[in-house]
């Protein structure tokens, strides 16, 4: 699959109007296949200390947030660039909540096109003024969201972003994504690790067009600038032997990250906002579009090492992502005693493998020959159509099949799923997840429990170019 297939092309008046609008702001883009080149632009400054995004934290069970969406010239990776921003920042505030909290969020749209908001991965109502991705906030309007989270909300890392069909990819690529943290992971750690240093490691990339972050004609394989918290190769400081909690979050529009810390392992304590039933280790972690991992990292001997994304290819019809340095880990200062990490149970186990199955379904991802249209079960997305109707308080088993020559990042809203097998091989993920990469010409088997909420929502490929070009289906959870 060649790069021209990466173009956003939907022959509708709305899309043409959006492209015309964005073109007037950022200039045109070339549809030709980009030549091989490094994934980072040398002109961006690197090596500054890691900056944490601003945090807004709930108090007494309530978090009130005002978000203004606008295109502004702001600091992006150490340069002044035009970008799409929340509250005037390329790296917007981290929203920090707890189970049973209520989030009141007012969003004012100062763009010249519709937008909206999705709280990715959170178990919350899809209806009304909650996580309703069918809402359209018109230019100049303010919408008031209200999210009431259950006491069963799982601790971990989530994110928020635009879900405005069919322009989710250009809006997220332009800058509209940020992190959400649900507190509570520390309760499962030993007492000596409950107050450790914590870092948000938000992986967010941008392509450059003149003096602007590119939002038009997005080629997924094109050279891109991979940032951590909006910085190029920042320095993360750690003491030798110190244990830190890192919240790795892929909040980019389209690309994959294959994250590796030279000479060390990641100790995974949560995946997609679900605490692991036991801590597991990995030399590298694949973060398909939309994926998050919460990990423990321990400082090695004094010196510097690199946090990298390793080269990764999504298939013969997909995209090739080159190796790049994301950040530099600097081990310095007085040594700390290395804390022993739990090796057995961690958080309570969630397991659907013995639940009765109310229905079995097959979800098929496919695309046309030139990559301009994408399908779920042979259909392109239509917000006026309901494709499947699961019943509340039941468990279903889905076979998610990929008939194309590239991987797709499967994501479902409202309820998390248990990944049972990959290409017929049993899988133990030590927890639930909301995103999984479907192999080329392969399949996943998942089990998903529909609880707490009814209403209309979606499942889709989280490579947002694909979602915008039709790879999304509407789902209505019914009583």
- pLDDT per residue as tens digits for the range 30-59: 222 233 334 444 478 889 999 999 999 999
Q: Quick one: 224 and 173 in the same domain?
A: no
Mean pLDDT of 285-313: 97
Q: Mean pLDDT of all residues in the chain? A: 92
Q: Quick one: 245 and 283 in the same domain?
A: yes
Q: Quick one: 72 and 176 in the same domain?
A: yes
Mean pLDDT of 432-457: 98
Question: Is pLDDT above 50 for 10?
Answer: no
Residue 36 lies in a domain: no
Question: Is pLDDT above 80 for 98?
Answer: yes
With bands split at pLDDT 50, 70 and 90, how would you rate the model's confidence at 386?
very high
Q: Quick one: 54 and 169 in the same domain?
A: yes
Residue 349 lies in a domain: no
Residue 235 lies in a domain: yes
Q: Quick one: 253 and 380 in the same domain?
A: no
Residue 447 lies in a domain: yes
pLDDT computed for residue 43 by the predictor: 73
pLDDT computed for residue 108 by the predictor: 98
Q: Quick one: 310 and 229 in the same domain?
A: yes
Question: Is pLDDT above 80 for 18?
Answer: no
pLDDT computed for residue 232 by the predictor: 97
Residue 377 lies in a domain: yes
Cα 123 from Cα 145, distance rounded (Å): 15
Question: Is pLDDT above 70 for 441?
Answer: yes
Mean pLDDT of 457-469: 98
pTM, to two decimals: 0.91
Question: Is pLDDT above 90 for 96?
Answer: yes
Write the CATH number for 151: 2.60.40.420
Q: Quick one: 192 and 317 in the same domain?
A: yes
Q: Which of 170, 186, 202 is the last residue of a domain?
A: 186
With bands split at pLDDT 50, 70 and 90, how would you rate the model's confidence at 1?
very low
Residue 35 lies in a domain: no
Mean pLDDT of 185-208: 96
Q: Which of 293, 316, 331 is the last residue of a domain?
A: 331
Domain that holds residue 308: 188-331
Question: Is pLDDT above 90 for 28?
Answer: no
Q: Quick one: 119 and 72 in the same domain?
A: yes
Q: Quick one: 92 and 170 in the same domain?
A: yes
pLDDT computed for residue 343 by the predictor: 79
Domain count, the chain: 3
Q: Quick one: 192 and 182 in the same domain?
A: no
With bands split at pLDDT 50, 70 and 90, how would you rate the model's confidence at 358?
very high
Q: Which of 144, 163, 186 is the last residue of a domain?
A: 186
Mean pLDDT of 426-440: 97
Residue 236 lies in a domain: yes
Q: Quick one: 309 and 203 in the same domain?
A: yes
Q: Quick one: 116 and 67 in the same domain?
A: yes
pLDDT computed for residue 4 by the predictor: 39
pLDDT in tens, 313-357: 999 999 999 999 999 999 999 999 889 988 778 999 999 999 999
Mean pLDDT of 349-374: 96
With bands split at pLDDT 50, 70 and 90, how would you rate the model's confidence at 26?
very low
Residue 320 lies in a domain: yes
pLDDT computed for residue 266 by the predictor: 97
């Amino acid at each position: 699959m060649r790069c021209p297939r990466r173009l956003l092309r939907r022959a509708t008046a709305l899309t043409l109007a959006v492209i015309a609008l964005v073109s007037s702001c950022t200039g045109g883009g070339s549809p030709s296949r980009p030549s091989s080149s490094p994934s980072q632009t040398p002109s961006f400054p690197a090596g500054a200390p890691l900056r944490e995004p601003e945090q807004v934290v709930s108090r007494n069970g309530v978090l009130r947030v005002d978000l203004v969406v606008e295109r502004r010239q702001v600091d992006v990776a150490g340069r002044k660039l035009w970008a799409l921003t929340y509250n005037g920042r390329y790296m917007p505030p981290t929203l920090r909540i707890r189970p049973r909290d209520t989030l009141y969020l007012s969003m004012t749209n100062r763009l010249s096109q519709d937008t909206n908001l999705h709280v990715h991965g959170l178990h919350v109502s899809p209806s009304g003024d909650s996580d309703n991705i069918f809402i359209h906030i018109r230019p100049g309007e303010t919408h008031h969201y209200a999210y009431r989270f259950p006491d069963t909300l799982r601790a971990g890392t989530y994110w928020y972003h635009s879900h405005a069909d069919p322009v989710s990819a250009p809006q997220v690529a332009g800058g509209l994504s940020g992190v959400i943290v649900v507190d509570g992971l520390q309760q499962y750690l030993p007492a000596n690790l409950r107050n450790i240093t914590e870092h948000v490691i938000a992986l967010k990339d941008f392509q450059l067009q003149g003096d602007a972050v590119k939002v038009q004609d997005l080629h997924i394989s094109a050279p891109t600038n991979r940032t951590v918290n909006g910085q190029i190769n920042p320095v993360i400081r750690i003491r030798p032997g110190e244990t830190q909690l890192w919240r790795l979050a892929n909040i980019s529009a389209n690309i994959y990250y294959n994250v590796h810390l030279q000479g060390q392992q990641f100790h995974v304590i949560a995946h997609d906002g679900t605490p692991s039933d036991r801590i597991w280790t990995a030399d590298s972690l694949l973060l398909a579009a939309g994926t998050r991992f919460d990990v423990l990292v321990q400082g090695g001997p004094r010196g510097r090492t690199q946090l990298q994304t390793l080269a990764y290819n999504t298939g013969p019809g997909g995209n090739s992502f080159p190796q790049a340095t994301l950040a530099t880990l600097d081990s310095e200062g007085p040594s700390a005693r290395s804390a022993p990490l739990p090796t057995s149970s961690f958080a309570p186990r969630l397991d659907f493998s013995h639940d009765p199955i109310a229905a079995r379904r097959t979800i098929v991802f496919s695309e046309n020959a030139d990559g301009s249209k994408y399908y779920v079960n042979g259909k392109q997305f239509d917000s006026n159509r309901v494709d499947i109707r699961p019943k509340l308080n039941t468990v279903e088993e889905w076979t998610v099949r990929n008939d194309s020559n590239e991987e797709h990042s499967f994501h479902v809203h409202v309820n998390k799923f248990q990944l049972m097998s990959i290409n017929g091989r049993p899988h133990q993920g030590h927890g639930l997840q909301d995103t999984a990469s479907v192999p080329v010409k392969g399949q996943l088997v998942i089990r998903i429990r529909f609880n707490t909420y009814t209403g209309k929502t979606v499942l889709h490929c989280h490579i947002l170019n694909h979602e915008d070009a039709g790879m999304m289906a509407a789902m209505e959870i019914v009583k």
